[in-house]
């Protein structure tokens, strides 16, 4: 049996218009929680399925699903009692999502915050619990990233680059890179400021925000393009030579 996690099911907002001055992180605490399915009975959908993967091959089980998506929030609950359930909550126009996982006994397993713009960025403290509800581990995802997620968003908006574009399938791509030298890597659409079909790859130092690399491409952009290698038609203009390359 394989549970579909909320990490992939969460809907990204296509109208992220919140202002930076109103950016405020949601609060998550290390306190114990227990999931009560009765709270969602009015919209809870239960479907039956048969496991196809070990150790649940041939086992009948129930999948629990609940969604609340409107002009104010996006909340999704999904999972099984055998493997546990996951939930994800995002306020409309928020830069943040809150995710929670629960054990089969419905005790909290994990709490975390992540970017609502890109799913692979965890923010702030992540809490891990054992099955009895005792807090066992805390991971601070801000450590080593003094140039914070919020500062990255401010940088992108100051460049007048869209975080999300409604007319095409891509917007800003934000990733955290590096081991010895940590940095943010951004792929930004710059058509608004150049009035051309342009986009940039930028690397920002994780501690200071210094531009470690900046290159502009002009031409057709391919989704998840890497340095233009998959887009030979793109014209390249190096603005800041790459300081992250090992000498």
Give tens-digit pLDDT for 27-67: 999 999 999 999 999 999 999 988 777 777 778 889 999 99
Domain residues for 74? 6-140
Closest CA to 13 of 157, 112, 118, 88: 118
Shared-domain flag, residues 74 and 179: no
User: How does pLDDT run across 122-153, given as a tens digit for each residue?
Assistant: 999 999 999 999 999 999 999 999 999 999 99
Cα separation, 153 vs 112, whole angstroms: 19
Shared-domain flag, residues 26 and 132: yes
**Is residue 212 one of the residues assigned to a domain?**
yes
Burial of 165 (0-12, 13-18, 19+ CB in 10 A): middle
Cβ contact 235:209 at 8 Å: no
3-state secondary structure of 34: strand
Strands 183-189 and 45-50: unpaired
Predicted local distance difference test score (pLDDT) of residue 222: 59
Tokens of 177: 């890179």
Total domains in the fold of the chain: 2
């Amino acid at each position: 049996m394989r549970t579909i996690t909320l990490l992939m099911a969460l809907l990204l907002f296509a109208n992220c218009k919140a202002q930076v001055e109103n950016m405020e992180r949601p609060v998550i605490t290390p306190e114990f929680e227990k999931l009560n399915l009765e709270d969602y009975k009015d919209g809870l959908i239960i479907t039956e399925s048969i496991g196809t993967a070990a150790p649940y091959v041939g086992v009948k089980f129930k999948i629990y699903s609940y969604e609340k998506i409107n002009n104010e929030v996006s909340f999704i609950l999904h999972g099984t009692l055998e493997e546990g359930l996951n939930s994800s909550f995002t306020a409309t126009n928020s830069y943040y999502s809150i995710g929670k996982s629960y054990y089969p006994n419905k005790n909290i397993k994990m709490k975390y915050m992540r970017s609502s713009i890109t799913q692979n960025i965890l923010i702030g403290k992540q809490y891990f619990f054992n099955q009895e509800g005792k807090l066992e581990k805390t991971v601070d995802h801000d450590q080593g990233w003094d140039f914070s997620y919020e500062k990255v968003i401010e940088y992108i908006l100051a460049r007048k680059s869209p975080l999300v574009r409604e007319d095409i399938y891509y917007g800003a791509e934000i990733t955290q890179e590096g081991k010895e030298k940590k940095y943010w890597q951004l792929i930004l659409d710059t058509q608004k400021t150049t009035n051309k079909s342009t986009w940039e790859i930028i690397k920002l130092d994780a501690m200071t925000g210094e531009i470690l690399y900046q290159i502009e491409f002009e031409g057709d952009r391919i989704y998840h393009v890497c340095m233009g290698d998959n887009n030979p038609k793109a014209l390249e203009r190096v603005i800041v030579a790459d300081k992250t390359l090992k000498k």
